[in-house]
Structure 1
Amino acid sequence: MAEKVRIGKTELYVNPIGLGTNAVGGHNIYPNLNEETGKDVVRTALENGINFLDTAFIYGPERSEELIGEVIKERGRRDEVVIATKGAHKFVDGKIVFDNSPAFLKDSVEGSLKRLQTDYIDLFYIHFPDENTPKDEAVGALKELKDQGKIRAIGVSNFSIEQMKEGNKDGYIEVLQSEYNLFKREAESDLLPYSAENGISFIPYFPLAAGLLGGRYTKDTTFNDGRAKNPMFQGETFERNLEKVELVREIAEAKGAEVAHVVLAWYLTQNAIDVLIPGAKRPEQVQNNLKTLNVNLTDEEVVKISRIFQA
């Protein structure tokens, strides 16, 4: 069983490998999802010592939260699970807009509580910034909910450094979730240092860069989803990216590990990163993600991996 780590300055203690659940009921993200398989993914995580589940209103929409709520209800022991969810998406005339107004965020938390069948949420994020709400007001609304015991920790997601500074005027932000991986390292210039300085835990999403850092693709792999139009997966750039992944494979093979496990282990060596939330569509992927915890990187290997992706 993995030793639990504390998420930043929160009172939340988790396995460093969590579970991202956008493939649990996320019918608007992945076609042909089987909900029973999704519930099995969550059960497998909980049975194998993963106690941190990351979901959101927009996964489904709503369905991911509902399915997670069902699994936790059948299992009992709510206090053993740390649930993170997110809100900001609002449907207006069939279109999605972002709303960070205090009233909407409070309503979002109430909706999530019902779907998750719980009376508190461990970590609630503002999923995306809107254009109008002062960010300290939005975060202040979450502080009120925290004081009422409806949420235990305050998070924001997809905030720029300016929005972070505005939102954190009173020091209430505890977690930032943002895109970060070895191919997309912009966060190293501002968001990661800011998080480290302010005791904010940084949770990266897309840590495996849509599978590119998983070590399973070759230059002949073709894609028929969003990756087909992603420049990282095209032409010479794709081939160069694969060459970098092959250099990580050398390190992985020397350790008897997979590329993905070495990449995930690398993130856990970075300042401000306490926990990762790789996703899974099948129960066996959950168990595979946990192998990351068996990988120990030397300081030299950490530097070497960083250099591979700076070139």
Structure 2
Amino acid sequence: MEYRTLGNTNLEVSVITHGAFAIGGNMWGGNEKQDSINSIHASLDHGVTSIDTAPFYGFGLSEEMIGEAIKGRDRSKIQILTKFGLVWDGSNHGKGEFFFDAEENGQKIPVYKYASRQSIIKEVEESLQRLGTDYIDLLQIHWPDGTTPISETMEALDLLIQQGKIRAAGVSNYSIEQIQEANKTLKIASNQVSYSMLNQAIEQDLVPYSLENNSGIIVYSPMERGLLTGKYFKETQLKDNDHRNGYFSQFDLQKVKTFLEKIEPIAQEKGATLSQLVLRWTSLQPAITVVLAGARNAQQAIENAKAMSFGLSEEEMNLINTALKEI
């Protein structure tokens, strides 16, 4: 495994970081608890020291399972990255910005973006309890909240740093303008954003900005929720309540299939899977500090970790990039 310093902090994180969205269950068709815990154990045992989660993932379930999985482990060797700012339990009393209706057990649950000072402090206490720890390594706002001044949100994060409850503060899904506004109050460590072979929009602005300002980039959905594994084209039958049924419709699936067939020989030469090749390519892109990779079980977690076990030559990168242009 390779480790990198996150932005302007002294926080060392594993390049492949365990993304714990899917193990929360909601929106992913569910997952077995023991499989989820085993996936975290396998990640930690194979050099993946960082875990990214959020209260929203499973409405607290993801954080709870992480807390259970790391119990008895050396906490100083694990980096917990979690979030705040999506609330669903009515504690915001109608404040904030309506985001969408989530669904659990057939019931609609309104989710709001809400990042007031009081709400952040409350959320952090709840996260610490679920995670079974007394500090969070990186706390990130999950989505921008247009109803709360960014300065108020950053002041709350600064207070939490001073109190020792968080080591560093980051943002997620922020624009350059929002990052600049945040930095007026508190120098943020990173921005967590969507990025993949099929979605390279951040290369236009966020990548050059981050390189110039020594800010980290954490990328989610590098596998486009499993599409770039190639399994979707061979054997996978998604459950009816899996959100990916709609998500995949945005892509030209025939072109994606052709692209994967073109690059698969590179993976085979490395003794690697398509998933590992995609993760490795992503890790080598400019300004990318961390690549989030989800795992529902131990085997998937081990495969993700092994994505860093090989290199890619300039020629191989060029072959991949040339094939990408045809999508």
Common fold: TM-score over 0.5: yes
Alignment partner of 1:256 is 2:271:
yes
More displaced stretch, 212-221 vs 81-90: 212-221
Alignment partner of 1:122 is 2:137:
yes
Match of residue 80, structure 1, among 77, 80, 83: 77
Match of residue 38, structure 2, among 19, 26, 40: 40
Q: CA deviation at 1:76?
A: 3.3
Question: 1:111–1:231: structure 2 CA closer, same or farther, 3 Å change rule?
Answer: closer
> What are the Cα deviations for residues 117-170 of structure 1, in whole angstroms up to 9, with x where unaligned?
111100001001111222233123212211221100111111122222222234
> Which residue number in structure 1 is paired with residue 114 of structure 2?
99
Q: Distance in 2 between matches of 1:95 and 1:230?
A: 20
8 A contact 2:154–2:185 mirrored in 1? no
Q: CA deviation at 1:97?
A: 0.8
For 1:30, give the aligned amino acid. W
8 A contact 1:219–1:239 mirrored in 2? no
Q: Distance in 2 between matches of 1:260 and 1:228?
A: 20
For 1:35, give the aligned amino acid. K
What are structure 2's unaligned runs of at least 5 residues?
A: 95-108
Q: CA deviation at 1:202?
A: 0.6
Say which structure, 1 or 2, has more relative contact order (CA 8 Å, 6+ apart): 2
Alignment partner of 1:216 is 2:231:
yes
Alignment partner of 1:27 is 2:44:
no
8 A contact 1:27–1:33 mirrored in 2? yes
Q: CA deviation at 1:256?
A: 2.3
Q: Distance in 2 between matches of 1:172 and 1:249?
A: 41
> Which residue number in structure 2 is paired with residue 230 of structure 1?
247
> Which residue number in structure 1 is paired with residue 128 of structure 2?
113
Give me the CA root mean square deviation. 2.0
Q: Distance in 2 between matches of 1:306 and 1:120?
A: 41
What are structure 1's unaligned runs of at least 5 residues?
A: none
Q: Distance in 1 between matches of 2:268 and 2:69?
A: 37
> Which residue number in structure 1 is paired with residue 150 of structure 2?
135
Query: What percentage of residue pairs aligned between the two structures are identical?
Result: 37
TM-score, length-normalised on structure 1? Answer: 0.91
8 A contact 1:19–1:278 mirrored in 2? yes
Match of residue 89, structure 1, among 77, 83, 86: 86
Q: CA deviation at 1:232?
A: 4.4
> What are the Cα deviations for residues 243-263 of structure 1, in whole angstroms up to 9, with x where unaligned?
111122122223222211111
SS of 1:300's equivalent in the other structure is helix
8 A contact 2:47–2:305 mirrored in 1? no
Question: 1:163–1:70: structure 2 CA closer, same or farther, 3 Å change rule?
Answer: same
> What are the Cα deviations for residues 278-310 of structure 1, in whole angstroms up to 9, with x where unaligned?
000111111111121122111232233223223
Q: Distance in 2 between matches of 1:247 and 1:4?
A: 30
Q: Distance in 1 between matches of 2:2 and 2:220?
A: 22
Give 1:1-311 correspondences, 5 Å limit: 2-24=1-23, 26-73=24-71, 75-91=72-88, 92=90, 94-170=109-185, 172-218=187-233, 223=238, 224=240, 225-230=242-247, 232=249, 237-311=252-326
Q: CA deviation at 1:58?
A: 0.4
Q: Distance in 2 between matches of 1:9 and 1:152?
A: 12
More displaced stretch, 91-100 vs 150-159: 91-100
For 1:205, give the aligned amino acid. Y
8 A contact 1:17–1:50 mirrored in 2? yes
Q: CA deviation at 1:30?
A: 2.7
> What are the Cα deviations for residues 24-58 of structure 1, in whole angstroms up to 9, with x where unaligned?
3x132333421122111111212222110111000
8 A contact 2:128–2:135 mirrored in 1? yes
SS of 1:109's equivalent in the other structure is helix
Q: CA deviation at 1:222?
A: 5.8
Q: Distance in 2 between matches of 1:150 and 1:131?
A: 25
Q: Which has the higher strand share?
A: 2
Number of corresponding residues: 306
